[in-house]
Amino acid sequence: MNQIRKSLVLAVLSFSVIALGQDTKSATATSAPQEPQPQPSPTVASTVDREISNIEKQVVEAAEAMREDKFNFSPESLNIAGGDYKGVRTFAVQVKHVAASNYFIWSPLTGDKLPEGLKDGNGPENLKTKADIIRFLKDSFALGHRAAATLTTQNMLQAPEHSKSPRLRLATFGVAHAYDHYGQMVEYLRMNGIVPPASRAAQP
């Protein structure tokens, strides 16, 4: 009987040791730091695409921040002495101008046809509502992302068909031009008591 008891005790102890060892290995595997996944190396296309994403966020958020009833606001209506705002673009036309310019600048890179009704830098005249204008704006930046995707180290200094400017110049000029008008959109927002979304995040 004692021999049987001893055998049972030894069996239980052996099982416990094996189970403990397995738990320890499992805990070690779980707590082991995960190796960071290697990030893909940046390319000309990805670098330009990131810049397009940055200005797209700024411009789209600014356009969405302007109230519907102020979308056709122009500083000319404020009659600021010495301001000389006569004939300047309204906020709506500023947004349409950014979008229209995006199409004119980036379409040579993709080969896309210009949207119907796009005759000059102020965008189609039939776009009147805030929703339609913002949709036009977003679609123009979608073209920008497609344009960036065409860039390679082999073709970036080559001029596309129907253009004298290198591909890289066109891709980055679209970004620079949008930033220029984003600054004007910000002023229009502030003239109407609206803090631009990009500035709200910086407030305490």
Question: How confident is the model at residue 18, as a pLDDT?
Answer: 40
Residue 6 clears pLDDT 80, i.e. is over it: no
| Residue that the structure tokens 């397009």 belong to | 52
Question: How confident is the model at residue 10, as a pLDDT?
Answer: 38
Give pLDDT tens digits for 121-159: 999 999 999 999 999 999 999 999 999 999 999 999 999
147-165 as b/e, with b when 16 or more CB fall inside 10 Å? Answer: bbebbeeeebeeebeeeee
Q: How many residues does the chain have?
A: 204
Q: Which domains can be identified in the chain, with CATH numbers?
A: 44-198 (1.20.120.450)
Dist. CA 156–CA 168, nearest whole Å: 5
Judge contact between 178 and 59, C-beta under 8 A.
Answer: yes
Give pLDDT tens digits for 83-123: 889 999 999 999 999 999 999 999 999 999 999 889 899 99
pTM over 0.75: yes
Question: How confident is the model at residue 168, as a pLDDT?
Answer: 97
Tell me the average pLDDT of the chain.
Answer: 85
Closest CA to 95 of 119, 117, 124: 124
Dist. CA 74–CA 58, nearest whole Å: 20
pLDDT band at 21 (very low <50, low <70, confident <90, very high): very low
Question: How confident is the model at residue 80, as a pLDDT?
Answer: 85
Judge contact between 117 and 111, C-beta under 8 A.
Answer: no
Question: How confident is the model at residue 167, as a pLDDT?
Answer: 97
Closest CA to 121 of 139, 145, 104, 142: 104
